[in-house]
Structure 1
Amino acid sequence: MGSSGEEEEEQLIQMVRDFIELGGGSTKPTSPSSSQSPKFHHKSTFSTLQDILTRVTDAETEILEKILIYLKDMEVVEQTHNLKKLIVKRLRRDGFEASICRTSWVATFGRPSGDYEYIDVMMKDNNGGTGTIERVRLIVDMDFRSQFELARPTSTYSELSTSLPSIFVGSEEKLMKIIPLLCSAAEQSLRESRLHIPPWRKASYMQSKWLSENCQKISLFPE
């Protein structure tokens, strides 16, 4: 258990380093050349995903910028443990209503049980500059891209998955658009590689991580 936890922490720390070195942006995949004759479906899926990712609200931008500042302030990242907890602590110190959200779900037909943790932020947002102030819930995942990694992915799936941000800040609605796209592409990649499609790679399982109704907010720090 300890070894596994340390490996996960090391992977997360490396992801943070990579994210900072890239200036906070996602990896920009190289556009396929016409000589490769990519399938129209892949082009459409990739274009749809980019359209979803580039639609960013003021609230999402504010939280992501705060997180990047926090990460850059952590001079000795190698000694940083419980990164999600530290991010929540800094957000709360800056006046945001943030907490760790722990989801869990029971096994159903075709979907094994599981649990997951991410950061939950409740804040006010100027609805597209219309002057209408709305209370919005943002989901923050510090290790988002890796959740969609596959063994032996096809080149088209690699292009799709590497365009995801390593740190996700967005709404439930945005996730509900992203997850089916990636899971459908993942299943196609596994089929083309003649690999079994495990239940934890299907949309119903992936949605349970962030969108499960059984969500427990954990207040980690005293007011």
Structure 2
Amino acid sequence: MGSITEEEQLIQMVRDFIESESAPQNPPEPFPLINNHRQPAYIDSLQEIIWRATDSEVEILEKILMYVTNLGSLREPINLKKWIVLRLKMDGHEASLCRTSWVSILGLAKGDYEFVDVMIMRNGENGVSSSEPTRLIIDMDFRSQFEVARPTTSYKRLVDSLPQIFVGSEEKLKNVVSLLCSAAKQSLKESGLHIPPWRKASYMLTKWFSENCKKVSISPNME
């Protein structure tokens, strides 16, 4: 996601997502609704995971949607993820740009990934903040991470039901990735395709949970 062209494509994709979510016939929702009467078990499980959103998750997502909606007032090209971090920090949140990398895993070449995280302090008894903050992971291009070749109708429906922008805890992310990778395995088998190593949960989770994770300091003079 380093080039301006890629960032502009991502910004436009997020804008399209916001416009579709705010269409007059459907009231804006922080997460996609699933209304079909009969869905595979994967859809039901995914809906349960995604909709189990905390107040903090909804608050952060709503702020991000507002930030991106207001991008039209910016004149210069931006790095979207850096800009989201900066805006969250300006609103008083402990936000960071995270860069994960791995030399080799499952016999594959080295890789890297970028996402945003926010540390949220939890309120304990009598409104006193807990000493253990909750880490929320923000992925601005979440849905595309699960695309596979020749998807079955059921798997395509499952991926389409994912939020474009993911905001959730580490546990929620792990549950979603595990479910999607299991469904992807079934889809590929039904399509007569081999399951590539990079579609296995162990590899997918490395994007967000690699031991080599660097938090990048973001300032107003970002590149």
When normalised by structure 2's length, the TM-score is 0.84
1:12: how far off?
0.9
Paired position in structure 1 for 2:174? 176
Separation of aligned partners in 2, 1:19 and 1:47? 22
**1:95 counterpart = 2:84:** no
CA contact (8 A) 1:139 1:172 kept: yes
In the alignment, which residue of structure 2 is the partner of 1:185?
183
Equivalent in 130, 137, 140 of residue 138 of structure 2: 140
Q: SS of 1:118's equivalent?
A: strand
Residues 124-135 of structure 1 correspond to what in structure 2 (within 5 A)?
A: 124-126=121-123, 131=127, 133-134=129-130, 135=133
Alignment counterpart, residue 120 of structure 1, candidates 117, 121, 131: 117
Q: Deviations over 1:101-129 (max 9, x none)?
A: 001123133554311010011121346x9
Cα distance in structure 2, aligned partners of 1:153 and 1:78: 39
Q: Tell me if the contact between 1:28 and 1:163 (Cα under 8 Å) persists in the aligned partners.
A: yes
Contact 1:100 1:120 in 2 (8 A): yes
Instruction: Identify if the C-alpha distance between structure 1 residues 78 and 50 changes in structure 2 by more than 3 Å, giving closer, same or farther.
Output: farther
- 1:91 is paired with a residue whose SS is helix
Q: Following the alignment from structure 1 to structure 2, what is the Cα–Cα distance between the partners of residues 19 and 159?
A: 16
Distance 1:204 1:104 in 2: 14
Mapping for residues 20-35 of structure 1, pairs under 5 Å: 20-21=18-19, 22-23=21-22, 25-28=30-33, 31=36
Identity %: 58
1:192-203 counterparts in 2 under 5 A? Answer: 192-203=190-201
Question: What is residue 158 of structure 1 aligned with on the other side?
Answer: 156
Partner of 1:73 in structure 2?
A: 70
Letter in 2 for 1:19: F
Give the letter for the 1:69 counterpart: M
Q: What's the CA shift for 1:8? A: 2.8
1:61 pairs with 2:58: yes
Q: Bigger shift: 52-61 or 74-83?
A: 74-83
User: Would you say how many aligned residue pairs link Structure 1 and Structure 2?
Assistant: 212
Distance change >3 Å, CA 221–CA 136, structure 1 → 2: same
Structure 1 residue ranges (4+ consecutive) displaced by more than 2 angstroms after TM superposition = 5-11, 23-30, 76-81, 108-113, 129-134
Given that residues 142 and 164 in structure 2 are in contact (C-alpha distance below 8 angstroms), is that contact kept between their aligned partners in structure 1? Answer: yes
Q: Which amino acid aligns with 1:74?
A: L
CA distance in 2, matches of 1:200, 1:130: 46
Q: Is the 8 A contact 1:27 1:162 kept in 2?
A: no
Shift of 1:156: 0.6
SS in 2 for 1:102: strand
Flag structure 2 segments of 5+ consecutive residues without an equivalent: 23-28
For structure 1, which runs of at least 5 residues remain unmatched after alignment?
Answer: none
Tell me the SS of whatever aligns to 2:122: strand
- 1:31 maps to a residue whose letter is N
Note the aligned Cα RMSD (angstroms): 2.6
